[in-house]
């Protein structure tokens, strides 16, 4: 795990040394264990390293005998199997990140096909003078680029590209509208005008500083629901879960788990408990003294049942007010998911002991856990409806632009996801895997952990798990109003104490409740902030916070959270005010 960055010029001139130093320093938090650089006539590759596998010889960039060079952010989980498959090759390291060089020698531009893992890769072929930028199938690891007058610049985070001075921080109005209505942004273009994402599963071909080709790998099976019985499906799930968790534990440093006590993280903990001789380190967050459900007692009991070494983290209202600018600073590619708050605090606590944690990201998308999937399956006459037909700020009279333009990216993803043979449920899952998962959940997971120099791994986003889950018949995903039916059955057999079929309140964070306590003073600051006043009517924002004041966040809490997040994000990432630990109201007054 690390940060990677580089530049390829159009005219063959060497990139300036000042650019190299800027990129390296801006990604230092992603790799505090060292950095490596390779500078040639027309291109530059660098990596800041978080050492996880091959602590001795795994420094990057890594070179092949023919001069091909690679820098990788992420993990190639099947490096053991690939090393055996490529037994006739000469290896210069024990690193998993050497594998792309060997697959490139065999497959050329299709080098990513055999890689099982999460990764962002920059590979340069000196024979053809061609740069390849590649990202894993689900987009677990980020990679961004900008085409500028002198060439193409790329980096693991947009803020590194901005610090280069080659792109001026400017908000894309389309992205601003998406963020306020969806809580994330869609597609290739980011919130920063001129900065784009390498898409999940994409390998981009660059020659003489310009993009000349693109290759794509699909994350999901391109098949309709299988005809499979419950027992066979359970056996297949058990084998896939154990296989995936096993390879996701491959590490030369200590690892643990973010554990909510829910279906997904309990399944992972149960698998880890079977695979590990020593207790698994499990971390749970809770919100004391609030109106949201506190699942810590349930998580504590399950951790004890599975023999885990359990740590509970309390996230208080004071923590929220003091650290939110730092949390928002971590998400330069904005994701206004309130789960960034506990994730950031869990990472801060876990980083004192570990470098790697597993998480349950992807379980809802692969095994159909969201309530919106149940609505998609139902005919319209029985209350069925498409996903995300209403934005978070619809009907509140807040936005200057009340058009439906914010939904264009989601509509395009839905159209691509409606493949021949897919059920309506599969199409909804595929749409979420294309946009919601990489541009919200995985940004949250990557940035909050990397802010503390930690690696996050998601066993559900593995070929073994997608093969076992996505192509299940609909009735093994959703039954009697509950999603993730097969996962629940598996838990009922292996950890019945988890009560997988019991009705539980969904996970939430009391942001509305906390904001309501200070809504009177916060409203004018949010309304007057540069970002919010550009996108919203100040009088509407003032009225929203006035209504919220004193009602414990029951009405308007989500809208207020989105506006507050956006105000902070714009101040930090567009206006350039450095984030610091301080009360939010004081930070909003800074210039």
2-216 falls under which CATH superfamily?
A: Aminohydrolase, N-terminal nucleophile (Ntn) domain (3.60.20.10)
> 393, exposed or middle or buried, with CB in 10 Å at 0-12, 13-18, 19+?
buried
127 vs 46: CA distance, rounded Å: 20
C-beta of residue 262 within 8 angstroms of C-beta of residue 290? no
Per residue in 193-218, pLDDT (tens digit) is 999 999 999 999 999 999 999 999 99
269 vs 408: CA distance, rounded Å: 39
Output the six-digit token pair for 566.
């956006």
Q: CB-side exposure of 103: number of CA atoms within 13 Å?
A: 23
pLDDT the model gives residue 295: 86
User: Does 361 sit behind a cis peptide bond, omega within 30 degrees of 0 on the bond before it?
Assistant: no
358 vs 78: CA distance, rounded Å: 17
589 vs 591: CA distance, rounded Å: 7
Q: What would the mean pLDDT of 31-43 be, rounded to a whole number? A: 85
In this model, does residue 79 exceed pLDDT 90?
A: yes
In this model, does residue 75 exceed pLDDT 70?
A: yes
Q: Which residues, in sequence order, are CB contacts of 456 under 8 Å at separation 6+? A: 258, 356, 357, 358, 359, 361, 445, 446, 449
The alpha carbon dihedral of 197, 203, 209, 211 has a sign of negative
C-beta of residue 267 within 8 angstroms of C-beta of residue 478? no
Q: CB-side exposure of 107: number of CA atoms within 13 Å?
A: 17
In this model, does residue 553 exceed pLDDT 70?
A: no
98 vs 406: CA distance, rounded Å: 41
In this model, does residue 57 exceed pLDDT 90?
A: no
Per residue in 492-550, pLDDT (tens digit) is 999 999 999 997 666 789 999 999 999 999 999 999 999 999 999 999 999 999 999 87
Range with lowest mean pLDDT among 24-33, 403-412, 564-573: 24-33
In this model, does residue 294 exceed pLDDT 60?
A: yes
Q: Which residues, in sequence order, are CB contacts of 300 under 8 Å at separation 6+? A: 284, 310, 312
In this model, does residue 551 exceed pLDDT 80?
A: no
Q: Predicted confidence band at 444 (pLDDT cuts at 50, 70, 90)?
A: very high
Phi, psi for residue 376 in degrees, rounded to 5 = -60, -35
Higher pLDDT, 379 or 542: 542
In this model, does residue 372 exceed pLDDT 80?
A: yes
Per residue in 239-288, pLDDT (tens digit) is 999 999 999 999 888 999 999 999 999 999 999 999 999 999 999 999 99
DSSP 273-313: HHH-SSPPEEEEEE-TTSSS---HHHHHHHHHHTT-EEEEE
In this model, does residue 552 exceed pLDDT 60?
A: no
Per residue in 148-184, pLDDT (tens digit) is 999 999 999 999 999 999 999 999 999 999 999 999 9
pLDDT the model gives residue 35: 83
**Which one is the CATH code of 230-371+437-498: 3.40.1190.20, 3.40.190.10, 3.40.50.620, 3.30.300.30?**
3.40.50.620
Domain spans in the chain, listed from the N-terminal domain onward: 2-216, 230-371+437-498, 511-588
The alpha carbon dihedral of 396, 398, 401, 406 has a sign of negative
Q: What would the mean pLDDT of 5-22 be, rounded to a whole number? A: 89
Q: Predicted confidence band at 121 (pLDDT cuts at 50, 70, 90)?
A: very high
Q: Predicted confidence band at 380 (pLDDT cuts at 50, 70, 90)?
A: low
Q: Predicted confidence band at 59 (pLDDT cuts at 50, 70, 90)?
A: confident
Rounded to a whole number, what is the largest CA-CA distance in the chain?
A: 70
pLDDT the model gives residue 392: 96
In this model, does residue 487 exceed pLDDT 60?
A: yes
Q: Hey, how many other C-beta atoms are within 10 angstroms of the C-beta on 405?
A: 13
DSSP 62-112: EE-TTS-EEEEEEEETTHHHHHHHTTTS--S-S-GGGHHHHHHHHHGGGTT
C-beta of residue 348 within 8 angstroms of C-beta of residue 320? no
């Amino acid at each position: 795990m690390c940060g990677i960055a580089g530049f390829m010029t159009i005219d063959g001139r060497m990139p300036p040394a000042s650019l190299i130093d800027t990129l390296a320093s801006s990604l230092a938090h992603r790799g505090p264990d060292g950095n490596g650089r390779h500078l040639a006539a027309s291109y530059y590759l660098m990596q800041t390293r978080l050492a996880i596998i091959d602590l001795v010889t795994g420094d990057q960039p890594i070179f092949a005998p023919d001069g091909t060079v690679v820098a990788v952010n992420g993990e190639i989980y099947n490096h053991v199997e690939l090393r055996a498959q490529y037994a006739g090759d000469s290896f210069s390291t024990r690193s998993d990140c050497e594998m792309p060089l060997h697959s490139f020698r065999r497959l050329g531009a299709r080098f990513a096909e055999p890689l099982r893992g999460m990764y962002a890769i920059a590979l340069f072929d000196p024979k053809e003078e061609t740069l390849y930028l590649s990202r894993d199938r689900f987009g677990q690891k980020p990679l961004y680029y900008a085409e500028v007058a002198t060439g193409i610049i790329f980096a693991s985070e947009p803020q590194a590209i901005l610090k280069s001075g080659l792109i001026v921080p400017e908000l894309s109005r389309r992205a601003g509208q998406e963020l306020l209505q969806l809580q994330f942004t869609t597609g290739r273009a980011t919130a920063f005008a001129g900065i784009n994402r390498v898409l999940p599963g994409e390998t981009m071909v660059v020659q003489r500083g310009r993009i000349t080709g693109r290759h794509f790998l699909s994350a999901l099976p391109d098949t309709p629901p299988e005809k499979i019985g419950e027992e066979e499906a359970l056996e297949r799930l058990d084998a896939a879960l154990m296989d995936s968790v096993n390879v996701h534990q491959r590490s030369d440093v200590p690892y643990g788990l973010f554990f909510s006590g829910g279906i997904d993280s309990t399944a992972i903990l149960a698998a880890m408990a079977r695979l590990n001789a020593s207790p698994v380190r499990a971390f749970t967050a809770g919100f004391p003294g609030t109106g949201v459900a506190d699942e810590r007692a349930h998580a504590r009991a399950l951790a004890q049942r599975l023999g885990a070494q359990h740590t509970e983290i309390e996230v208080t209202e004071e923590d929220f007010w003091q650290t939110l600018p730092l949390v928002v600073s971590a998400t330069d590619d904005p994701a206004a998911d309130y789960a960034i708050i506990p994730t950031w605090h869990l990472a801060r606590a876990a980083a004192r002991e570990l470098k790697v944690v597993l998480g349950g990201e992807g379980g809802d998308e692969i095994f159909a856990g969201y309530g919106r999937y149940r609505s998609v399956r139902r005919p319209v006459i029985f209350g069925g409806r498409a996903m995300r037909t209403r934005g978070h700020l619809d009907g509140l009279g807040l936005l200057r632009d009340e058009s439906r333009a914010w939904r264009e990216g989601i509509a395009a993803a839905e159209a691509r996801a409606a493949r021949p043979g897919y059920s309506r449920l599969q199409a909804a899952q595929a749409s979420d895997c294309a946009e919601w998962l990489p541009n919200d959940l995985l940004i949250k997971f990557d940035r909050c952990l990397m802010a503390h120099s930690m690696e996050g791994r998601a066993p559900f986003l593995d070929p073994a798990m997608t093969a076992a889950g996505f192509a299940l018949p609909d009735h093994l995903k959703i039954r009697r109003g509950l999603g993730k039916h097969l996962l629940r059955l598996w838990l009922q057999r292996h950890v019945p104490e988890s009560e997988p079929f019991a009705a539980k309140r969904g996970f939430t964070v009391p942001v509305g409740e906390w904001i309501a306590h200070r809504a009177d003073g916060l409203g004018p600051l949010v309304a007057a902030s540069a970002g919010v006043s550009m996108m919203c009517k100040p009088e509407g924002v003032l009225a929203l916070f006035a209504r919220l004041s004193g009602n414990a966040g029951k009405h308007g809490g989500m809208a207020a959270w989105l506006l507050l997040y956006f105000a902070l994000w714009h101040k930090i990432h567009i206006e350039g005010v450095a984030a610091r630990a301080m009360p939010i109201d004081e930070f909003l007054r800074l210039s």
